Amino acid sequence: MTSVVKHSTRKPLSGIAAVAGEQRQRNAQLRNEFPPRPAEAWWPHTAATADQVRERLGSPPFVGGFKRTRDGRRRGVAKILSWLSTFPGETWQARWLASGAERHRGPDWVKLPVAWLAENQGRTGPGGPVDLQSGLLMLTCGDVLRPGMAWMLTRSHRYLIAVMAEVRDRHGFARLAELAAGEQDSSYADSKVAASRIAIILACKGGTIADIAVGDCVELVETMRQVHTRGGQKKVDFYLRLRALGIFPDNAPHSIRAFGLAGGRLTIEQLVDRYRIQSEPVRNLLIDYLRERQPSLDFTSLDAASRTLAGLFWARIETLAPGIDTLRIPPQVLRTWKGELATVERTRISTNGERVKVPTPRLNYKDELLRVRALYLDIAHWAVEDPARWGPWVAPCPITDAEIQKAKERKHRKARMDQRTRERLPVLPVLVATVNDRRLAAAGLLAAAHAAEPGAIIDGTAGELRKAVVPNMIGRFVWAEEVTTGKRRNLSYEEEEAFWAFATIEVLRLTGIRCEELLELSHHSITEYRLPDTGELVPLLQIAPSKTDTERLLLVSPELADILSTIVQRLRNSDGSIPLIVSYDIRERIWNPPMPVLFQRGIGNERRAYTPTAIRKLLINALAATRLTDPNGDPLIFSPHDFRRIFVTDAIMNGLPPHIAQLICGHKSIDTTMGYKAVYPAETIEAHRAFIARRRLVRPGEEYRTPTDEEWDSFLSHFEKRKVSVGTCARAFSTPCIHEHACVRCSLLRPDPSQRARLQEIHDNLEARIIEAKREGWLGEVEGLQVSYSGVKGKLTQIDATLRRTATGTDLGIPTFGGLSR
C-alpha cells in the first residue's frame, strides 16, 4: 500500500462512549423520520394587539363558568399583558421569552409581574397571584403564549385539561374521554395523566389534538427525562392513546419506547464509524469486507464482527502505531496488541471498600482472534477471484493456527456445563413443586383479599394480613398490609409473578426450547393434527425459526397442554381474543409485527412481551423461594438454558435416541446434542451406535423405503388403538404388550383423570380380593394380586398429582388450521 494516505481527525471511542454513540445514531434515524413541529416565532394570535387579545378572550368560548371565575381571568389577562408590554418584541411570545419568567420553576414566576405591578401601580389589585395564574391559563389555552415544555412540566395544571377542552379542541378531548370510558375503572387516573400530557403539547406547540406529531410526543418524553418528571409508565401512556385515536401515520412506531430503544439496525458504515478509525482506506476496507459477509450473517453476528475488527483490532492498532495504513503490522505492535486483548479490566471492591479495576482473562479471547484471522484469510481467498479489489490488501495472517486451537477450552467448558447439569437435575422436582405451591398460594391469597373488605383481616392469613385501603388503585391492584410491621404488599403483582415463574419453568423443562424461542411463542404456535379415521386431535407446538433458522414441531404432552391452556385462558380478552403485542427483537434490532404472544404482561395500559431480563428475574425469585444452594453454600441459580441441558440429559438417559433428541432441540449436528448430555457422553455414543447397528442387522433392508398406503394406515391405526378404559397406552409402534394387557401394571399407561372413579373401584376390588385370598389361604394368588394392587395405587397417585398441580382445567383454545397431509 502507498504510504501517502488521508487520515481523518476522528479519535477512537471507548466502549461506553461507542455504545452511547450507537444509541444516538439509532434514535436519530427515527427522529429524522418523525421530526417534531418546529417552534414558531410568529402566528396570528400572538401578533394581535392587546385590545384584540382582550376582546377575543372575553368572548365565547372563553367566557364560560361562574362570574367570579370570568372576572378573575379577565383581570389576570389584563395584568399579564400590561406587564409583558414593558419587554421588547414584536409578538407576545417574544415578550414572554424576554421576560425571563421561564427561568423560575413552578409558581415562582408570578413574583415577577407581582413586583412590577406593586412598583408601577402601587398594588396588584384584587385576586393578586391567583388572577395572574388564571390569566396565564387563558393566554396559553387561547394560543397567545406557548411556554416551553420544560417549564410547563415543573408546574401543576389543575384546570389545564378542562379549559383546553373547552376553548381549544372540544371534539378531540371528547374522543379521549370516550376511549377512557371503554377501559377498566383502574385506568381513570392514567387517563387523566395522559390528557394532561396531551394538553401540555397543545399549550407548547399550538393546534388541536389532530395536529400533534409523533415527534412532539418524543420531544415531550425527552423533556420529562431532563426535568426528572415522575410517573413511570404514565410518562408514555399518552402516546398509546393518541395512536389509538388514529392521528399518527401508519408507519409510526407502536410504542414510543421505539425511540428509547434501538430505532433500527445500524448500517455497516455506522457500525464501523462507532470507533472513529483514522485511516480512511482501512475504514473503507472494513466496510467492504463486512458488506461482503453480510448476506451470510444475522445482525447480531455482523455487529459482533464489526466490534472485533473495527474496535478491538484496528482502533487499538492505530493507538499503538499511529498513522499505520496497511494490514502488514509490525511484530512488536502485534505482540503488544495480543497482550492487551488477552485481558479485560473489571471493577472490583477492594478490602478497604474502594472500587479498583483488576485485569482478568478475556473468556472469548480466541473467538476475537478467530475473527481477525478470518479477515486476513478471506481477503487472501477473494483476491484470487478479484485481484484488483482485494489484492492490494493481501498480507500474511498475524494469527497462527495454534493460537486459535480451542480443544482444551471446549473440554473445560463441557466440564463446567456438565457439573451445572449434575447439580441441578436432582433438585429439579423440588423447584417444580415449590413454584407450583407458590403459584397456588399466591392465587388463593389474592382471591381471599378480593373477598375481604378494605381494612379487614384477610381469611387464611392467621390474622397477619389485612386488606389495605388504597383509593387511587381501585380495580387495579390489591394491596395487603402486614398487621405487625405495617409493610404493604402488592398481592396482584405477587400472584402474577408467581404464575409466570411457574409457566416459564414448566414450558422450558417440558419442551427444552431456548429462551428466545420461549418469548416468541404465540397463540398461532399451538396447532394440531387430526387422525383421519377417529378424528382424535394430536396437539403440536410450532417453534419459530431462531438460532438455526429451522422451524420444528413438538408434540404437546398432557402436562404441557395444561400449562398452555392456562396461559391462553389467562390472557383472553372479554371477546375471547388474545392481545396483539409488538415485541422488540434485541438480537436482530427490529420490532416484530403485532402477534398474540403467550408470554406477555401489562405495564400501565400497555401490553408488553416479556424480555430475557424479566425471565431471568422470575427464575431468580422462584429459586429464592426454594432455598436451594450449590455445593459452596451459595444460592443455586438456574439460567433458562440450564433447562435445555437438563431436558436433553434426562431424555437420553431414559432411552430417547440421541438423533431424535437432536431433532427435538433443533440442533444442526448431533455432536451439539451430545454435548448437552451431562453423563458419560462417550459411553452413550457407543451404546447408540451399537443400537443402530443391531437394529440394521435384524431389520430387512427392503424396509428402508417409502411406506405403502396400507402400511401408513396400519401406523395410524396404532395410535387409534392406544385408548383403553382407564387412559392411553404409550407403547411404541409395532411392539407387543409386555404385560398381556394388564394395563394397571404397566408403566406406559397414562391414566385419564376422568377415569379416577373406575380406578378407585378396581383398587377397592383388588383390596377385597387380597383379603379374601389371605383368609382362604390362596397364597398363589396373593402375589399376583398385590402386583396389580401396587400398580393401581401408583396410577391413582399419578392422577392426584396431576389434579393438584392443575388448579382448573380450561379450554386450550387451539387455532383452527387446515388438514395436514402426510
Tens digit of pLDDT for each residue in 637-654? 999 999 999 999 888 888
**From 143-152, 454-463, 698-707, 793-802, the region with the lowest mean pLDDT:** 698-707
pLDDT at 101 over 70: yes
Share of the chain above pLDDT 90, in %: 38
Start-to-end CA span in the chain (Å): 61
State which amino acid sits at residue 401: D
pLDDT at 17 over 70: no
The pLDDT score that the predictor gives to residue 264 is 56
Tens digit of pLDDT for each residue in 584-602? 887 777 778 889 999 998 8
Average pLDDT over residues 703-728: 74
The pLDDT score that the predictor gives to residue 126 is 53
CA atoms within 13 A on the CB side of 140: 27
| Closest to 500 in 3D by CA, of 459, 430, 587, 442 | 442
| Closest to 500 in 3D by CA, of 563, 431, 573 | 563
| Closest to 237 in 3D by CA, of 252, 215, 217 | 217
In sequence order, what E strands does 636-696 have? none
Average pLDDT in the chain: 83
Average pLDDT over residues 6-20: 42
Between strands 343-349 and 727-729, the pairing is unpaired
Share of the chain above pLDDT 70, in %: 86
Q: Which residue has the higher pLDDT, 739 or 410?
A: 410
How wide is the angle at C-alpha 697 spanned by C-alphas 695 and 699, nearest 5°?
Answer: 65
The pLDDT score that the predictor gives to residue 229 is 55
Using DSSP, state whether 279 is helix, strand or coil.
strand
Residue 256's CB: how many other CB atoms inside 10 A?
22
| Closest to 31 in 3D by CA, of 297, 214, 273, 211 | 214
pLDDT-derived band at 817 (thresholds 50, 70, 90) equals very low
pLDDT-derived band at 18 (thresholds 50, 70, 90) equals very low
pLDDT at 236 over 90: no
The pLDDT score that the predictor gives to residue 10 is 43
Average pLDDT over residues 671-678: 85
Average pLDDT over residues 216-240: 75
CA distances from 247 to 214, 240, 699 (A): 9, 11, 69
Tens digit of pLDDT for each residue in 102-123? 988 778 888 898 888 888 765 5
**From 122-131, 450-459, 569-578, the region with the lowest mean pLDDT:** 122-131
Residue 35's CB: how many other CB atoms inside 10 A?
14
Q: Which residue has the higher pLDDT, 6 or 421?
A: 421
Q: Record the cell numbers describing residue 105, joined without a space.
A: 420553576
pLDDT at 5 over 70: no
Region of 514 on the Ramachandran plot (φ > 0 left; ψ -120 to 50 alpha; else beta): beta
Q: Record the cell numbers describing residue 772, joined without a space.
A: 379374601
State which amino acid sits at residue 326: T
Q: Using CA atoms, how far apart are residues 591 and 520, in angstroms rounded to an integer?
A: 12
The pLDDT score that the predictor gives to residue 603 is 77
pLDDT-derived band at 392 (thresholds 50, 70, 90) equals very high
